[in-house]
Structure 1
Amino acid sequence: MTTLESVFTIEAAPLKFGAGAVEELGWDLKRLGVARVLLVVDPALHEFGLVDRVAGIIERAGIGTVRFEDIAVEPTLESLSRAADFAATADVDGFVALGGGSTIDTAKVANLIKRHGGAIMDYVNAPIGGGRKPTGPLFPLIAVPTTSGSGSEATTVAILDIPDLKLKTGISHRHIRPTLAVVDPELARTTPAGVTASAGLDVVCHAVESYISKPFDARPRPASPDDRPPYQGSNPVADIWSLKAIEFGGRFLARAVADGDDLEARGTMMLGATMAGIGFGTAGVHIPHACAYPIAGLKHVFHAAGYSRDHAFVPHGYSVIVTSPAAFRFTYDAAPEKHIQAAELLTGRSVNDPGPDSLPQALITLMRQVGAPSGIAALGYAEADIPALVDGALKQQRLLVGAPRPVGRGDLERILQASMANW
């Protein structure tokens, strides 16, 4: 007889939030004992003067800086390897990541390899990689997000694309979580509307998936606390973070996309991203994210508004949101009340006709408001691609085990078929 889990843990990065919070970055680094920092930055931020500004804040505190700016949007194994190689020879004892989720994930992996050595694939989640666990803490890493989406500043995960395998996967361990998240709403002014839309839909999907994930006490108890996964299942504490993030997405995402100077909307979405990161960083994500990795990895033909027209790829937020309506129709029977509550928070009103379509319709309404693609067909896929997408999703068992009901090949085929176009 399987013994079920009776314990969950909440481990979240300390958070500093507010307009002007980035001005305290030098103080924070000194408090952490950092003498020389590797500043990992998105080079696009030079356009807004942010790179020199942040470097100046650090240097005025008497801390040396080395810069790494070779960031790939949606990092690949190759781009992360370049960052890890650079960090390995850099004379630094701390990291600052300035940018979106791609930048923060790059800093996480560079920090991991500098501190513990080995190859990146050694640490990639099994069965794709070796699943090696870091044996101890990393160097201090302060994450300073400039977008409102990935929540990487609060999570134990770094995501990477492996083009040779035509899939995306990740590295996950509590030691790679940033030491501190510094979330300054004024930095969100730099984000184009299309990027805000994709990133914000990622916030919403993170929060909903984690809220309706399999409860922690429905999982088998691990043989050792060391084997307890970072994604443990929904629990009363993670639910608090996830629910507030869902509410913020419903109230503020469309406003943040419509007006880059709406600091209340953009700042609240940044806070929502971090809150969702704390929620899903403990509870986990499942079907939409499992489908998203092959959607983003198999084809690179989509050109998203707000991103470089020279770079064809599927932004992560779009790759997760396109299957979410069908995925949440599938999971509805496992927890109807949670699906209805999520729909009410997104729409800001009571659901008049509760049922399996209430949450999908709320999501579709939000997708249309912010200009998201209607489904996977708009991302360059045809029905003939569904078997390959299913194969890729099935490789993400680390995520699929968190779904509130069992999901197999036939279920994924039907979800993807229904997601070809949501309207």
Structure 2
Amino acid sequence: MAGPGRDRVVKLLRQLEHAACRCPAHSNTFHQGSPLTCTVRKTDYAFEMASSNIRYGGGVSREIGMDLQNLRARNVCLMTDRNLFHLPPVKAVLESLVKSGVNYKVYDNVRVEPTDTSFKDAISFAKMHSFDVFVAVGGGSVIDTCKAANLYACHPDADFLDFVNAPIGKGKPVTGTLKPLIAVPTTAGTGSETTGVAIFDYEPLKAKTGIASRAIRPTLGIVDPDHTLSMPERVAANSGFDVLCHALESYTALPYHKRAPCPSNPINRPAYQGSNPISDVWSRHALNVVAKYMKRSVQDPEDVEARSSMHLASVFAGIGFGNAGVHLCHGMSYPIAGNVKTHIAEGYSVEHPLVPHGLSVVLTSPAVFNFTAPMCPERHLEAAEILGADVRQVKLADAGAVLADTLRHFLFDLQVEDGLAAVGYSTEDIPALVKGTVPQERVTKLSPRGHTEDDLALLFEASMKLY
């Protein structure tokens, strides 16, 4: 080929080279050696699956001493809270450590619903000792606190806000290696034993935020269903609501290929990536288990099958949302928990006002899923059907209303407080609740439906009363 025709082809190839997306999925030989940046594609094109190793079985906590021997641990940090320290789960772990001759120190000052202050106290403890392995025995508060302590002990020069999610913190990627962390969950809710997320109340803003990085996820989650038998009824209920919303939110989250921006480097791909085919499997299965066993697990503390099943459902949902993410229920829950005035939840041994995480999440769920349903009505209808609704004659346009009603019935049967008003809020608090939700873009941006501050205000208003 010669002459004008060849020149046109060469010119066209050069134009294509400069216009093409340079992400690896769309790169070609012209881009070898080029930086991995997306110059055309605005949304992501890939997703990753990450989870802790999980060991499940009744009495499996007794193996932890041998695990620590296998890790050649010389100085172990065991974190828990003051109430749990006297209960069977911690006693079982300590007995295993003693039996295996493991040297350890206990930190039992974890705060239920931790704050930046309580995180910093645990971090100081971890920095004072040269721990080579961390063990967390407790619910999400304990496991998340232990993740933070491990992270900052391994990055002693880091400022606290360096790894905290933007826009509250700097959201820097974690590049250093952390010590092994073994998590022993005692509640059936957070799924924290599977995820690279640590949540806390940021006191200056009176709202929750967190740290999200695959680097902080536990090395091993030891899921022992025997521990769930010590949960009080309301703790079992509120923990279960967290599982419910993890499953629902991750299944209805913005699809991963619609999430922006396309990362310039894989280290910048967030832990919460949007719904994807693998997370969908875990989330859907968790929802089925919740539908079958949650009411039984709350109503009868000695129903071993139900409590064991909910413990495993927490793991399933954790793997699902740990990769897909959550959205509005969780984003709105953070200021609900952070602005609590006088409400002290039943069943929790605390001396401070408390709206438990699972409760703060589920109170907005009917309003939220009624709002998000138009974006993926089939998924909302499927969720309603799993939870017991007859959807055979339901139109797609009514998916939100049907799921919202199904959730209200579910919550009513489990004696949930009648909306935000029942935990101390009024319409006068809505501006503060909206203000506390706005910085939660790490999760709210995964809502399948875009929203404004006015939309958030209407959702809070609709959640003041449920029944």
Question: Which range, TM-score by smaller chain?
Answer: over 0.9
Moved more, 70-79 or 358-367: 358-367
Verify the 8 A CA contact 1:116 1:134 in the aligned structure 2. no
Alignment of 1:408 with 2:448, yes or no, is no
Distance 1:151 1:377, change over 3 A: same
Verify the 8 A CA contact 1:250 1:366 in the aligned structure 2. no
Alignment of 1:152 with 2:167, yes or no, is no
Aligned match of 1:192? 232
Question: Which structure 2 segments of 5+ residues have no match?
Answer: 1-39
Alignment of 1:73 with 2:112, yes or no, is yes
Verify the 8 A CA contact 1:340 1:351 in the aligned structure 2. no
SS of equivalent to 1:347: coil
Distance 1:311 1:352, change over 3 A: farther
Verify the 8 A CA contact 1:156 1:173 in the aligned structure 2. yes
Alignment of 1:38 with 2:77, yes or no, is yes
Alignment of 1:382 with 2:382, yes or no, is no
Question: Which structure 1 segments of 5+ residues have no match?
Answer: none
- CA shift for structure 1 position 413: 1.3
Verify the 8 A CA contact 1:55 1:65 in the aligned structure 2. no
Distance 1:310 1:351, change over 3 A: farther
Which stretches of structure 1, 4 residues or more, deviate above 6 A after TM superposition? none
Aligned match of 1:170? 210
SS of equivalent to 1:24: helix
Moved more, 56-65 or 41-50: 41-50
| Cα distance in 2, alignment partners of residues 351 and 167 from structure 1 | 41
Superposed, 1:264-343 pairs within 5 Å as 264-308=305-349, 310-343=351-384
| Cα distance in 2, alignment partners of residues 88 and 96 from structure 1 | 15
Q: 2:58 aligns with which of 19, 30, 48?
A: 19
Superposed, 1:110-149 pairs within 5 Å as 110-117=149-156, 118-149=158-189
Deviations 1:376-405 (A, max 9, x none): 111111101111111111111111110111
Aligned match of 1:347? 388
Aligned match of 2:126? 87
- CA shift for structure 1 position 190: 1.2
Q: TM-score, normalised by structure 2?
A: 0.88
| Cα distance in 2, alignment partners of residues 68 and 309 from structure 1 | 17
Verify the 8 A CA contact 2:62 2:92 in the aligned structure 1. no
Distance 1:13 1:351, change over 3 A: farther
| Cα distance in 1, alignment partners of residues 228 and 115 from structure 2 | 25
- CA shift for structure 1 position 348: 7.2
| Cα distance in 1, alignment partners of residues 95 and 440 from structure 2 | 42
| Cα distance in 1, alignment partners of residues 160 and 341 from structure 2 | 23
- CA shift for structure 1 position 189: 1.1
| Cα distance in 1, alignment partners of residues 296 and 392 from structure 2 | 22
Verify the 8 A CA contact 2:79 2:142 in the aligned structure 1. yes
Aligned match of 2:280? 239
Aligned match of 1:418? 462
Aligned match of 2:404? 360
- Give, as a single letter, the amino acid of the residue that structure 1 aligns with 2:367: A
Distance 1:13 1:79, change over 3 A: same
| Cα distance in 2, alignment partners of residues 27 and 379 from structure 1 | 45
Aligned positions, number: 423
SS of equivalent to 2:182: strand
Q: TM-score, normalised by structure 1?
A: 0.97
Alignment of 1:28 with 2:67, yes or no, is yes
- Give, as a single letter, the amino acid of the residue that structure 1 aligns with 2:256: F
Identity %: 43
Alignment of 1:204 with 2:244, yes or no, is yes
Moved more, 297-306 or 327-336: 297-306
Aligned match of 2:443? 399
Verify the 8 A CA contact 2:44 2:257 in the aligned structure 1. yes
- CA shift for structure 1 position 350: 4.9
Moved more, 368-377 or 233-242: 368-377
Deviations 1:155-213 (A, max 9, x none): 11101112222111111111010011110000111111111111100110011000000
Moved more, 125-134 or 275-284: 125-134
| Cα distance in 1, alignment partners of residues 203 and 95 from structure 2 | 37
Distance 1:388 1:166, change over 3 A: same
Distance 1:349 1:37, change over 3 A: farther
- Give, as a single letter, the amino acid of the residue that structure 2 aligns with 1:82: D
Deviations 1:221-267 (A, max 9, x none): 21111111110000000001101111111111111111111111111
- CA shift for structure 1 position 32: 3.0
Moved more, 182-191 or 60-69: 60-69
- Give, as a single letter, the amino acid of the residue that structure 2 aligns with 1:261: E
| Cα distance in 2, alignment partners of residues 14 and 141 from structure 1 | 11
Q: Which has the larger radius of gyration?
A: 2
SS of equivalent to 2:347: coil
Aligned match of 1:10? 49
